[in-house]
Amino acid sequence: MKNNKFYHIYTYGCQMNIHESEKLAGFLEERGYIETKEPNLADVIVFNTCCIRKSAEEKIFGNIGAIKPIKKKNPNLVVAVCGCMAQQSQMAETIQNKFPFVDIIFGTHNVNKFGQYLDDFNCKHEKLKNIEEEIQIIEGTPVYRTSGYNAWVNIMYGCNNFCTYCIVPYVRGREISRKPQDIINEIENLLKTKKYKIITLLGQNVNSYGKDLEDNINFAKLMQKIVELPYEFKLKFMTSHPKDLTDEVIETIANNDKISKAIHLPVQSGSNRILKLMNRKYTVEHYKEIIKKIKDKIPNATITSDFIVGFPTETEEDFLATCELIKDVEYNSIFAFMYSKREGTPAAIMEGQISDEIKNQRVNTLLKLEKEISNQKNYELIGKIENCIVEKKLENDDEYLVKTDGGKTIIVKDDNLNLLEFVDVKITKISKNQLYGEIVNNGGTNEETITNDATISQ
């Protein structure tokens, strides 16, 4: 007979969900469960779901269905479904009817109560469904971190924006910010352990942090307070809505070495007509101005974005405007999504829905475009100096893998680097899409021009 109890968590969707799974795991670890990669061996299986696109939902249904034979073999197995999909009451009912073997269902607002639900179920063996209307922030719950030297930290929950395609405000509620001191305490405790070198702040729209608080605080001031903590680390953040990205935030990023220069600024479309229908509250011209400001103040910024193609009524002309914007901004990379109709959102009932065939064509065109641009961007890196973290020693004795601020990996030759230290690396060549570089000792700015010894090979 086995003595240990095991758990397995399926996580779908964004970084927010990855971190929420760390919180779910925290409750399980606290109760003595051990993680297993093998669902067959688990005593508790949790599905932490996502509903941002239909494709995610379909995959999740398939995965939950596949648990049925495992539950049949092991009736003591506890199956829980939570997260964005479960937060919608109708969907929660569908899950209950379609998969009667699911024991616990709860929404995004109840993640912090998972421990209590599990204890109740293990005690009474009564099925449980709990979906609360509003989130209550509970501080100090356990977190079992699984993202290496990066630690995710929520600074706020929910979203007030109601972009017409998006289900998030309906399943995650209105914006609510954590108190600055609670955030700082959490980060200080993480940094004290010396295990974490990157702190990534999480929110649907981090730029509107603090608007609901009485303290004299905003996102820029919060970042400033965090980087004053006396430890060596990089501060990252996601995601930013362009309409709320202030000059103060740009200045704060520009003026602090500890703040990452990787800025994810989803634009969604390059057509003003579509942006208006999407309720994004900015124009292409306004967006380009923000990008210009970023490039002027932060010359080594890594700029990335999200795009949706095939939004209702999107014409070829609208789509070409999106392509133009991508060429104009020269993003380091982009994420392109086919518009997915989400019931309950205004866009779902708009006339002029676009066929899957056209969406497919458009998404492929964007991906091709992004490949060309990001290849070009890689070549532009040659000769530049990037501040990187040493991630791993490679099998070749004197080679290390280091990672740039923008997430690119570089192979460097050196005989004595410490793992997880920050080093300045000059990028010397690119070969088969892999960057190579050498350690340099000077300050770590990114404004070097291409030097003679830079080589390109493929």
Least distance from C-beta 342 to ligand 5AD, angstroms?
5
CA dihedral (256, 257, 259, 265) in degrees, to 10, reads 90
Q: Does 241 bind ligand SF4 (CB under 6 A)?
A: yes
- Of 306, 330, 414, 448, the residue at the interface with ligand 5AD (CB under 6 A) is 306
Q: Nearer Cβ to ligand SF4, position 22 or 244? A: 244
Binding mask 318-357 for ligand 5AD (x = CB under 6 A): -------------------x-xx-x---------------
Helices and strands (H, E) in the chain, number of each type: 14, 20
- Tell me how far apart the alpha carbons of residues 246 and 22 are, in angstroms, rounded to a whole number: 31
Cα distances (Å, whole numbers) of residue 376 to 51, 327, 335, 456: 34, 11, 17, 12
Q: Does 165 bind ligand 5AD (CB under 6 A)?
A: yes
State the Cα–Cα distance between residues 391 and 148, nearest whole angstrom: 10
User: Is-contact 449 377, C-beta < 8 A?
Assistant: no
Binds ligand SF4 by CB under 6 A, chosen from 11, 21, 108, 205: 205
Handedness of CA 105, 163, 152, 134 (dihedral sign): negative
From 17, 110, 204, 269, residue interacting with ligand SF4 (rule: CB under 6 A): 204
Total residues contacting ligand SF4 by CB under 6 A comes to 10
Binding partner of residue 162 among ligand 5AD, ligand SF4, none, CB cut-off 5 to 8 Å per kind: ligand SF4
Q: Which of 198, 201, 388 is nearest to 300 (CA)?
A: 388
Rounded CA gap, 46 and 39, in Å?
10
Q: Alpha helix locations (H) across 330-392?
A: 356-380
241 makes contact, choosing from ligand 5AD, ligand SF4, none, with CB < 5 to 8 Å by partner type, with ligand SF4
> Bridge-partner residues for 427, per DSSP?
437
**Closer residue to ligand 5AD in complex, CB, 49/387:** 49
The residue number with the shortest CB distance to ligand 5AD is 306
Q: Nearest approach, Cβ of 134 to ligand SF4 (angstroms)?
A: 17
By beta-carbon proximity to ligand SF4, the closer residue of 42 and 51 is: 51
* CA distance linking residue 403 with residue 425, whole number of Å: 10
Provide the minimum distance between the beta carbon of 306 and ligand 5AD in the complex, in angstroms, as a whole number. Answer: 3
Residue at 243: amino acid letter: K
Shortest spacing between CB 280 and ligand SF4, in angstroms: 8
Question: Which residues between 140 and 179 bind ligand SF4 (CB under 6 A)?
Answer: 159, 161-163, 166, 168-169
Question: In terms of DSSP bridges, do strands 434-440 and 422-431 run parallel, antiparallel, or are they unpaired?
Answer: antiparallel
Distance CA 388, CA 417 (A): 12
Binding stretches for ligand SF4 (CB under 6 A): 159, 161-163, 166, 168-169, 204-205, 241
Binding stretches for ligand 5AD (CB under 6 A): 52-53, 165-166, 266, 268, 306, 308, 337, 339-340, 342
